[in-house]
Amino acid sequence: MFEPICRVLMDKLRLATVGCGYFSQFHHQAWQRLDVDIVGICDLDMTKARSFADEYGGDRAYDDFTAMLSECQPDLVDIILQPTQHLDHIKIACEHSVAVICQKPFTENLAQAKQAVGIAADTGNILAIHENFRFQPWYRRIKELIDQNRLGQIYQIRFDLRPGDGQGADAYLDRQPYFQQMKQFLIRETGVHFIDVFRYLCGEPNAVWADLRQLNPAIIGEDAGLFILEFEHQQRAVFDGNRLSDHVADNHRLTMGEMQIEGELATLELNGRGQIIIRNKGSNVAKAIDLDWDDTGFGGDCVYLMQRHVLEHMQCGAPLENSGDEYLKNLTIQELVYRSNQEGRRLIV
């Protein structure tokens, strides 16, 4: 299912990365398996940069981003930093005519995101966002089933986010401690993935309603809540998130929860083990759908699959699903989710 859509003989793409925090390990592990030359790895902490260069095969370690781009002359840079640093690094990369993959949350707000997209457009640079959930193998398979009309008309999609990592004063401190200080947390950090997944499966929504809560007093942002996206033909997508509760799973960060899709012809369920089950209307028997995927890295190897998607765009012109311009649609909806919660009303997209 994930064979490259075309192959082009060319020199290996030259890659540089910036940021050696917790999640960057998944980026670097995936890049090692892709057909690129890692020509530079950068972090403000030179010890981290050298450690990553030693582990992942980077030619050189840097603590100066501009110097790395000037000396290494990469074709692509992977920005794996916190949102406060995104815009400046995108500007510098575009000044050096380097294509960009930028982690999410993308920049600090929608206005900055629009500015970053504008800079890339004005300089003719590729800007892709590291939105990896839509590349998880179960969502690619579910999209195929929907397109094949296996479910018929879709009535409702629901995802219950239950990673179970948000209880107590030490919540998130062992992995991503800055989570505790995010003023907008559940939706901006995690729920935006499902805004994107819902758009991938259903198309563009036309209305939003939300109700968000803070359950753990150790953090400053919301960590539970609901939002509903409305689509044409009366379809609805419901996100029900609670980071304090868990679900049945061997690895609670694999799917991070469970999905149900109710359709005219059948009901589909995605469980916490990445298994898809379909029950046809009128039947009491549910059947598993064949799905092959690698339990490697994060979330069904979605980091690798997303990064490979960008390479296919750069090397052979394949359509780019996660461009910066396309990602602005997710951020617009995200902003409306927060507004709906504040104003206590349904909003039109």
In this predicted structure, the answer to whether residue 198 has a pLDDT above a threshold of 60 is yes
b/e for 184-203, b at 16 or more Cβ within 10 A?
bbbbbbbbbbbbbbbbbbbe
**pLDDT for res 59:** 83
- Could you identify the residue written with the tokens 């559940």? 186
CB 210 within 8 A of CB 170: no
* pLDDT of the residue at 10: 55
Determine the Cα–Cα distance for residues 124 and 104; give it in Å rounded to an integer. 22
Q: How far apart are CA 133 and CA 199, in angstroms?
A: 12
Query: Hey, how many other C-beta atoms are within 10 angstroms of the C-beta on 217?
Result: 7
Q: Residue ranges per domain, the chain?
A: 13-130+304-318, 134-284+330-348
Burial of 240 per CB tally in 10 Å (0-12, 13-18, 19+): middle
Please, what is the average pLDDT of the chain? Answer: 96
Per-residue CA distances from 37 to 34, 87, 315 (Å): 9, 25, 14
- Could you give the CA distance from residue 135 to residue 262 in angstroms, rounded to a whole number? 22
CA 50 – CA 58 distance, rounded (Å): 9
Token pair of 20 as six digits: 């050696």
Question: Which secondary structure element, helix H or strand E, spans residue 305, and what is its range?
Answer: helix 302-316
User: Per residue in 255-297, pLDDT tens?
Assistant: 999 999 999 999 999 999 999 999 999 999 999 999 999 999 9
Residues facing 259 on adjacent strands? 159, 270
Closest residue by Cα to residue 2 from 29, 32, 34 = 34
Tens of pLDDT, residues 5-22: 344 445 799 999 999 999
pLDDT of 343 reads: 98
pLDDT at 8 (0 to 100)? 43
pLDDT at 132 over 50: yes
Helix, strand, coil percent values for the chain (each to nearest 5): 35, 20, 40
Average pLDDT over residues 155-184: 97
Q: Which of 160, 148, 191, 132 is nearest to 278 (CA)?
A: 148
Cα–Cα dist 271/258, whole Å: 5
The pLDDT value given to residue 11: 75
Identity of the residue numbered 62? Y
The phi and psi torsions of 182 (rounded to 5 degrees) equal -75, 120
Residue 1 or 24, more confident: 24
Q: Before 105, cis peptide (omega within 30)?
A: yes
pTM, rounded to two decimals: 0.95
- Rounded distance between C-alpha atoms, residue 200 and residue 197, angstroms: 5
pLDDT at residue 4 tops 80:
no
Per-residue pLDDT tens digits for 99-115 = 999 999 999 999 999 99
- What pairs with residue 97 in β-bridges? none
Q: Is residue 111 helix, strand or coil? A: helix
Instruction: Report pLDDT digits (tens) over 209-238.
Output: 999 999 999 999 999 999 999 999 899 999
Name which CATH class applies to 134-284+330-348.
alpha beta
Per-residue confidence at 3, pLDDT binned at 50, 70, 90?
very low
Best CA proximity match to 133, nearest among 313, 271, 252, 253:
253
CB 235 within 8 A of CB 252: no
- Phi and psi, residue 107, nearest 5°: 60, -170
Nearest-CA neighbor of 78 among 32, 140, 122, 123? 32
Domain at 13-130+304-318: CATH code: 3.40.50.720
Distance CA(291)–CA(139), nearest Å, equals 11
For the stretch 43-85, pLDDT in tens is 999 999 999 999 998 889 999 999 999 999 999 999 999 999 9
